[in-house]
Chain A
Amino acid sequence: MKTLDRRGRAWLMVLAVLVAVALGADLLASDLPLLARVDGKTWVLPCVTRPAQLIGKTPDWALRTPIPFGPLQTVASTGEVRELPPPWAPDEAHWLGTDELGRDVAARLIHGARVSLFVAFFTMLIALAVGLLVGGASGYLGGFTDAVLSRVLEVMQTFPLVFFLIALMAVLRTQSLWPLVIALGLTRWTEVARLVRAEVLSLSTREFVLAARALGASPARIIGRHLLPNALGPVLVVTTFGVGSAILLETALSFLGIGVAPPTASWGELLTEAHRTLQYPGAWWLAVFPGLAIAGTVLTVNGLGEALRRTLHTSRREAANG
């Protein structure tokens, strides 16, 4: 049966933790507390609800988030004064240091996780939908449709897509993340489509599909009951690896300054800052931590992809043997 092996389950756990960090970013790093009492009134989770009444008030007591800084909060706004201007090296107050504006790197990384995972997940969802549709149509219908769609695929794979993305982002870029998701989705579907096409082509000559067709099953039933479920495994593997490369692409675009619009914290933008602040020699924490976050997340996703592939491989072999 198809179950992940131990390594695969470990990667899945790590990914779950990353998703939890991304979803709970407001609970982990915020300038507002988890629980506070101000002027005789108790506020629950102001870090999530961000009530306007609290800004600038000093609470009687407060339970702070583990990292008591927001992603956009600068040193100037915290009133923190030190001998040297930022960037500051990691210490007890700022675990991973601060950038040149005095924004806490750890807080920005945690909030950047939300952006990266959100963008990557929905990018691959779009890519999956387009890829299934195009690949399925191409493989199932064949003939002229296949010829045209194969040409389109070839164009998309030959064209330097970074240019396409740059131009697309020049048009679509807003504060919202959706334009980025759509632009990335429109470039990432080719791998899925190619795979689905190949799978459908090889599956439609198999006995059980021929039998279904001979029994008079409708095309919708053949596609829905026989082709798609059997193609799903390899597609899942490719999609998982696609999430990894979508994260890399998003960070690269944000690094070029055309991805996630600042001041939203994103990992790529953090690295741009590291590149810009090369004039502060020795500010290693700006270059090291965002990159570790990117590489670690991509590694986790790719590790999971490898595990899925192993699982699929063995289950196919078992199916063949008995």
Chain B
Amino acid sequence: MKRYLARRLLLMMPTFVGITLLTFVVAQWAPGDPFQLDLETAGPSQQVIDAQRAARGLDAPLPVQFGRWFSRVVRFDFGRSFVDQREVTQKLSEALPRTGRIAGLALLFGFGLAVPLGVQLAVHRRRRWARWLEFTLVAAWSVPSFWLAVLLLTFFSEWFPVQGGVVLPVICLTWPTLVVATRQVRSAMTDALGQDYVKAARARGIPERRVVWRHALRNSLLPVVTMLGLHLPHLVGGSVVIERIFSIPGMGLLAFEAIGSRDYPTVMGAATVMALVTMLSMLLVDLAYAFIDPRIRLEKAS
């Protein structure tokens, strides 16, 4: 187990460097820099601009800029925002919990509802209502969450406080999670129910409820746990749109607005933190997986 953990952590290093590099390249790609924006409107002299650029280290060669930036990232120092001069770390620590609360609730409700629903669908898969529900799920899968948000705001805006409070954004983020997770639980359960150990359990006269909810469900939870890790980046992506619609000053909106105003430190900080959170959750999922299933632990370690 320790060797497996060490291996996983070691593999995360190049990924992390890659992510910081990608963030850096993306930020460099964005046209101009904040002082060019000022130039278009106010028009300070070239000397002032050069001085400002030098003060922020924007005049150094790119590899040097990346080296400087990387050494600070490791210490969680993203510098100050170009726009409002506040510490990026502080801005991020304000925004992260806001996104975390919504995304966490969405995950909780999404998976909480998906497990019973998926199990029922798998158990009754030959019934007509289950087939209809399954088709409904495919249809629901095709409904973008931002349309759901616009619809909810169009038809129910007077039922909820200004901009929907927490309820509407959580509904909108839960939606895709629920749909994806239910499909995953259903297919994993369908597979599990066809296995020999289920037949054996039934043959031994174990009550059907126990066979379904203990024997089959436990085994089908493994792929569902993996899916949870893979779903996180999608949730982060979805939160950009949802936060913009409901004006929630979370990570998504912060990054979106920072890119618009060419505020590189904030963009790079937000992207790095989001990638880091995703990476850590994937690691947790991987560890949970290895912990539950000894086969993986032993195979990977050898």
Contacts and interface: CB of A to CB of B under 8 A. Distances in A.
B30 A167 contact: yes
Contacts of B157: 278
Interface in B121-175: 138-139, 141-144, 146-147, 150-151, 153-155, 157
A256 B256 contact: yes
A291 B15 contact: no
A271 B270 contact: no
Interface residues of A, number: 41
A187 to B, nearest CB: 10
Interface stretch (A16-24, A68-76, A158-166, A310-318): A158-166
B53 interface: no
A302 interface: yes
A129 interface: no
Contact of B141 (A152, A284, A302): A302
Given A295-B144, A295-B147, A164 B139 contact: no
Contacts of B30: 167, 170-171
A160 B279 CA distance: 11
Contacts of B255: 163, 166
A160 B233 contact: yes
Instruction: Please classify the interface of chain A as helix (H, G, I), strand (E, B), loop, or mixed, using the class held by over half of its residues.
Output: helix
Nearest to A162: B237
A158 B19 contact: yes
B278 interface: yes
A160 B150 contact: no
Contacts of B14: 151
Nearest to B268: A163
Instruction: Please classify the interface of chain B as helix (H, G, I), strand (E, B), loop, or mixed, using the class held by over half of its residues.
Output: helix
Interface string B98-118: 000000000000000000000
B224 interface: no
Nearest to A249: B237
B302 to A, nearest CB: 18
A299 B241 contact: no
Given A155-B18, A160-B274, A166 B29 contact: no
Nearest to B27: A167
A157 interface: yes
A275 B29 CA distance: 30
A158 B15 contact: yes
Interface string B213-233: 000000000000000001001
B194 interface: no
A85 B141 CA distance: 37
A155 B146 contact: no
Contacts of B95: none
Contact of B22 (A159, A170, A251): A159
Contact of A166 (B144, B236, B256): B256
B96 interface: no
B48 interface: no
A255 interface: yes
B139 A163 contact: no
A159 B236 CA distance: 10
Among all A-B residue pairs, the 4 with the closest Cβ atoms: A291-B147, A298-B142, A155-B18, A299-B142
17 contacts: A151-B14, A155-B15, A158-B15, A159-B19, A170-B30, A170-B260, A171-B31, A256-B240, A274-B154, A287-B151, A288-B151, A291-B143, A294-B147, A296-B142, A298-B144, A299-B141, A303-B138
Given A166-B240, A284-B155, 9 more contacts: A158-B233, A160-B236, A163-B274, A164-B26, A294-B144, A298-B144, A299-B139, A302-B141, A302-B142
